[in-house]
Structure 1
């Protein structure tokens, strides 16, 4: 177990990073505002405080971030950890993907002092579950699964204006809590594609495993939740909505009129639910027991779906 001693970001690669007191780690992307963030395996770089202090003891006056590192932690010699090691800082989970690196073009610190310890002492990681990290937070090695969490988004013009009680959103939160999920977010937005897309993206970037929407899946011209969902997902998961429609047809033939969809964005599963409390309870009763396994596969915490 160790402690975060510095967080550093830069706008350009190959330059020294600047220290900041707090940083937002975006799931499967990197640190918000950092030049090295992206869809690759070296989203975050880490150095041990001891290695930096040893370098300073040789007479070099270097600040945190000088070697291009994002995270400086006390209590770790990172290069001794094997690839695949998981690290946890609060709700943020990292997985080490690379030990050291080859320098193809020397960085700013090398040109200034003639050496850089990042290639031989640093490690790189990807972000499995995002969130805020603050200097002083505890960093630890973990073998735990990422805790189940969820966000609920209600699409309702009247609800967003306070003219209608959000019974379906309340029912979803009640059921999720009873099933052991941490409901990390809840919002009511009007039936506007841009706002729905923004909310889904926000919670996906934070690494929330399950994002449930309610409302906006019918035939009304204002019903745009499926369109917003398709705009943000990377892959579709059609079987979930198909199962809801098939099982709901046993309750009412009007279930065939649902346009609900489901899909995956980064490490989040997004599912459209109906807008009524009764239908929400029915659909979650059908699908929720199976969704946990899907989320664990998505996060790398479980094997294949087939038995």
Structure 2
């Protein structure tokens, strides 16, 4: 049995959270009165008390709320749970949305000790159903019936679009295709043609948000600024060349310029990443080619699908 050992809130971001005896959880918002509540995916943060104790044993003088966590729970190893896991206590129902987080500006704990466990062990959740929780309440992992929808993200690469000089339609078009096919599109991003930020977001979406599929659009041509394939390969664990080969082959029947596309398809952890061209028309055509095949591949990555033989 897992038990809530502490509930913590802060009225301002960047400040240590203070313990409270009870907290009101608001659906699609977070904890009432907490600065991190809002209409986003990191509404509530959780940390295992065992991790805090282990960190304290290394000489760190830390207590509940020191790492910015809302809930300290004993009995659940949160970092081992996949995104999409649901947790319930009373009427409150949470769904994990992110495992760990990047620490861009090291906190006071890191500066004092040289380490911080939140980027590795902290998890984040959104509130599906609300209510009031108290210290000492039980928290359980909910077994879900049925298949969880695939989660996807779309990244548009465009210098002009990111600078507001042009309205890019390819990203929204891909997001619409995904939603029509039943995917849960958790993020859409518009970035300049820069390798560093693209690699950072690909790693974050695959490692922390654990999305099933990332589609990029743009940056696959011959221009010196077209760096999407190289940035994608830089974060890859494996390549899936058959997808991009099939896309180019099918697209060649439409236009001979398809041979100039350098898009790649790769796997990072359990996330499939596919580069699409920057053309809205081409994006829709590419999606039509792969739409029926992708679910089988995504199920294999999830560990729920069989082999590809017939």
- For the aligned pair, the TM-score class normalised by the smaller chain equals 0.5 to 0.7
- Please, what TM-score do these two structures have when normalized by structure 1? 0.63
The alpha-carbon distance between structure 1 residues 146 and 266, as it changes in their structure 2 partners (threshold 3 A), is farther
Match of 2:30 in 1: none
What SS does the aligned partner of 1:289 have? coil
Alpha-carbon distance between aligned partners in 2 of 1:4 and 1:186, rounded to the nearest angstrom = 34
1:92 to 89, 92, 96: 96
Question: Matches of residues 1-307 of structure 1 in structure 2 within 5 Å?
Answer: 7-8=47-48, 9-10=51-52, 12=55, 19-20=64-65, 48=75, 70=77, 88-89=86-87, 90-92=94-96, 131-132=124-125, 139-142=141-144, 144-204=146-206, 205-307=208-310
Aligned partner of residue 147 in structure 1, secondary structure: coil
SS of the residue aligned with 1:165?
Answer: coil
1:1-55 Cα deviation digits (max 9, x unpaired): 987656333475965985448769xxxxxxxxxxxxxxxxxxxxx854xxxxxxx
Contact 2:157 2:192 (C-alpha < 8 Å) held by counterparts: yes
What's the CA shift for 1:292? 1.4
Q: 1:272 to 1:133 in 2, by over 3 A?
A: same
In 1, distance between residues paired with 2:169 and 2:198?
Answer: 19
**Taking structure 2 as the reference length, what is the TM-score of the superposition?**
0.62
Secondary structure (helix, strand or coil) at the match of 2:164 reads coil
Q: Give 1:217 deviation, angstroms.
A: 0.2
Is the contact between residue 219 and residue 257 of structure 1 (CA under 8 Å) also seen in structure 2? yes
CA distance, structure 2, for counterparts of residue 18 and residue 304 of structure 1: 48
Conservation of the 8 A alpha-carbon contact between 2:244 and 2:263: yes
Q: In angstroms, what is the RMSD of aligned CA positions? A: 3.5
Asked if the contact 1:216/1:222 (under 8 Å) is kept, the reply is: yes
Q: Which runs of 5+ in 1 are unaligned?
A: 25-45, 49-68, 72-85, 95-126
Which has the higher mean CA deviation after the structures are superposed, 160-169 or 7-16? Answer: 7-16
Distance in 2 between residues matched to 1:238 and 1:200, nearest whole Å: 18
Structure 1 runs of 4+ with >2 Å offset:
1-24, 86-94, 130-139, 141-147
Distance (whole Å) between structure 2 residues aligned to residue 252 and residue 142 of structure 1: 46
1:131 and 1:219, CA in 2 relative to 1: closer, same or farther beyond 3 A?
Answer: farther
- Asked which structure has the greater CA Rg, the reply is 1
Partner SS state of residue 305, structure 2: coil
Give the match's secondary structure for 1:187.
strand
Unaligned runs of 5+ in 2: 7-46, 79-83, 88-93, 99-120, 134-138
Tell me the distance in 2 between the aligned counterparts of 1:175 and 1:287. Answer: 12
Q: Distance in 1 between matches of 2:251 and 2:145?
A: 39
Deviations 1:216-256 (A, max 9, x none): 00000000000010011111111110010000000011101
- Shift of residue 151 of structure 1? 0.3
8 Å Cα contact 1:4/1:138 also seen in 2 = no
Task: Please give the per-residue CA displacement for 1:145-170, whole angstroms capped at 9, x wherever unaligned.
Answer: 34211000000000001111121001
